[in-house]
Chains A and B, each alone.
Chain A
Amino acid sequence: MSKNSVKPLVEVENLKKHFDINTGFLSTKPLKAVDDVSFSINKGETLGLVGESGCGKTTVGRTLLHLYKPTGGRIWYDGREIRTKEDISYLRRKASMVFQDPYSSLNPRMTVSDIIGEPLDVQKKYTNKNERRDRILELMNYVGLNSEHASRYAHEFSGGQRQRIGIARALAVDPELLVCDEPVSALDVSIQAQVINMFVELQEKLGLTYLFIAHDILVVRHISDSIAVMYLGKMVELSDADEIYNRPLHPYSKSLLSAVPIPDPKTARERKRIVLSGDIPSPLNAPSGCPFRTRCPYATEECATSMPQFEEVSKGHYVACHRVNEIN
């Protein structure tokens, strides 16, 4: 599939999500979980979203699906802007979500077939019981579960199997877009590989589009066409997956990539690690100017005063950094 000919399935422009945090009696302060994030995903492609814990990745995914009401910004799905209740219910039929924790995302009181069948029940996607059962078995087959698992409860399964149940549920609405919110981070490594390969297979078979959220950049690189890096609610870099992996431009992406473990001791020893000092600042008291400046080795006075723009520095490669040309 040529990348220029496909049109974007999802477009997000200046998406904002602020939570009001109680700071005292009757006083609140906005927590800018997501601030001015823009991206688009082409049909059939995968955008990987990486960043450390608490940087707003999950909030982007949930706000994109209107599970949180956006504070600002616009979302288009397949050319239709999502604003009203009708738009949202349209979105619900086209997009679904795979959750991070395979333990808390499945209702312990429901059998597997009820969990997978619930989206069908809610959206009334069948005319009789047999149709429902056949569809559930088909979905279980997609994700590699046996039909005899249908009458069991979620607690009888391992983490990997539970995540498969979660994926089958997400596929039940016949979605075009799947938001995968760290779907493998709760699984151990060998199971991660199985589940990720299943995501790849499903994408080929069903023509799915993914927003793949993870904090493991290797996992994301394996599955993504393009990668976006987030820091403190902002997107700092967005580019083609290989480009960002081989030639990261933003200092944060550089340090993120330098932390990736390499399964070859020789290369690993020769590599220069960029170790960031300090912790991620609280999003309640975000630094002025560039959010990364408190930990950035290249920060100047300019970084403290003005917010860098998210600009295209080469074709399809967006970076938000004042000094991007000087440091590369």
Chain B
Amino acid sequence: MNKKIFSLHPDLDAFMPASEAEKEYMVEMRQSTTFFKDGVKRLLKNKVATASFIIILTIALASIILPMVWPYSYDAMLGVSPGKPVDSSYNNLRPFEYGATELRLIEQGEKVFPHIFGTDSSGRDYFIRVVYGTRISLAVGFFASIIVLVIGITVGSISGYAGGKIDLYVMRIVDIIYSLPDMLVVILLASVLRVSLAGVIEGSVLAKIGSNIISLFIVFGVLYWVSMARLIRGQILSLREQEYVLATRATGAKGSWIIRKHLIPNSIGVVIISTALQIPSAIFTESYLSFLGLGVNAPMPSLGSLASEALNGLTSYPFRLVIPAVVISLIVLSLNLFGDGLRDAFDPKLNK
């Protein structure tokens, strides 16, 4: 082509059709990513939340594994052995002290596993009691949150989706429960239930768990689902107006299908977060109930009951109060921080 010097017309020969490989290269899209992966990525960037998660994980694993391998058991009174008088030298040991028979063994050159936190007033190894108490507290917190979650999701989603009269009545019930002074009701329920439950569950598997823990769960089931139900109802109220819900209705799907497949999966982020924040509050409640003597049955320890027992010898053995208190604080603090991190990572509305 005879190209004019000042022509702005592009040289058409310079344009070549793209080869198949080049086309392929152009359509390449970024790696498919899910909401969950995105959230985890954001969560890992949050150092405080990641550190809290590692602390929780460590505490949880330790509380599960240590009682299995520890040479002492949480309920064995070391000074008591069958056929011999009670050896009171084992009671109230300070950290890394030994009882009379243990000292004799050490003199003979044998190795004795130390009592890291000493022993309590009945001669039980205090370290393993704290570990075991942590296990109980975590378990109570976890299962209580699950109970709250299940009841809250069921009631909240049905109420939100059904709307109208059903919603009105359910929400009034929620308001009533909300307005009760919960501390008072918890104490009342716990003290009534522990008496009445003891007879009912006698001899069954439940008896092993103890009537107090079961009454704790009942208390959680009755009282603490309301905020979860409200939260989920609010989510569902806004989600059910989305067009994809209408689209699903147009295919003939029932309400239960829509709730299960669309509404709950879309509110799950909020649900996970508030469950994570529910666990520390459950642990806290368990602790103060145990502290008041309404918690787990003796000799089973929980962090609250350990703190409560420690009050008796507070002036001589302050570490017995400090240790469980520190563990409670550590658990509650890291769960709260982790929950906050979860919310930041998974709630896109708060991101921007």
Contacts and interface: CB of A to CB of B under 8 A. Distances in A.
B247 interface: yes
A221 interface: no
B251 A118 contact: yes
Nearest to B265: A109
B244 A67 contact: no
B250 A96 contact: yes
Nearest to B32: A152
A118 B258 CA distance: 11
A105 interface: yes
B242 interface: yes
Contacts of A56: none
A106 B251 contact: no
Interface in A159-195: 166, 169, 172-173
A93 B32 contact: no
Contacts of B227: none
Contacts of A100: 243
Interface in B223-254: 242-244, 246-253
B58 interface: no
A196 B248 CA distance: 23
Contacts of A152: 29, 32
A317 to B, nearest CB: 32
A233 to B, nearest CB: 20
B35 interface: yes
A89 B253 CA distance: 10
Most buried by B among A88, A99, A151, A172: A99
Nearest to B268: A109
A118 B250 contact: no
A97 interface: yes
A153 B266 CA distance: 14
A107 interface: yes
Nearest to A90: B252
A109 B37 CA distance: 12
A106 B250 contact: no
A123 interface: yes
Interface string A100-125: 11001111110000000011001100
Contact of B251 (A99, A101, A104, A119): A119
Nearest to A152: B32
Contacts of A132: none
Nearest to A97: B250
A106 B262 CA distance: 10
Given A93-B252, A123-B252, A153-B32, A105 B243 contact: yes
B349 to A, nearest CB: 13
A92 B251 contact: yes
A169 B266 CA distance: 20
A99 B246 contact: yes
B34 interface: yes
A92 B250 contact: yes
Contact of A105 (B247, B257, B266): B247
Nearest to A65: B250
A156 interface: yes
B35 A109 contact: yes
Nearest to A98: B247
Given A153-B34, A156-B32, A106 B252 contact: no
Most chain A beta-carbon neighbours within 10 Å: one of B34, B247, B262: B247
A118 B29 contact: no
Contact of B252 (A89, A104, A108): A89
Contacts of A123: 251-252
A122 B35 contact: no
B247 A97 contact: yes
Contacts of B242: 104-105
Contacts of A122: 248, 251-253, 257
Q: Which of B242, B257, B265 has the most CB of A within 10 A?
A: B242
A105 B244 contact: yes
B261 interface: yes
A67 B32 contact: no
Contact of B244 (A88, A107, A119): A107
Contacts of A172: 251
A122 B348 CA distance: 30
A118 B32 contact: no
B29 A156 contact: yes
A99 B252 contact: no
B244 A104 contact: yes
Interface in A24-63: 62
A249 B55 CA distance: 77
Contacts of B265: 107, 109
A118 B248 contact: yes
Residue from A93, A96, A107 whose CB has the most chain B CB atoms within 10 Å = A107
Nearest to B250: A97
A173 B248 CA distance: 12
Interface string B246-287: 111111110001000110011000000000000000000000
Which 4 pairs from chain A and chain B are nearest by CB?
Answer: A92-B252, A105-B243, A119-B251, A107-B244
Interface of B: 29, 32-35, 242-244, 246-253, 257, 261-262, 265-266
Interface of A: 62, 65, 67, 88-89, 92-93, 96-97, 99-101, 104-109, 118-119, 122-123, 151-153, 156, 166, 169, 172-173
28 contacts: A65-B250, A67-B246, A67-B249, A88-B252, A89-B252, A92-B252, A96-B250, A97-B250, A100-B243, A104-B242, A104-B244, A105-B243, A105-B247, A107-B244, A108-B266, A118-B248, A118-B251, A118-B253, A118-B261, A122-B248, A122-B252, A122-B253, A152-B32, A153-B33, A156-B29, A156-B32, A166-B247, A169-B247
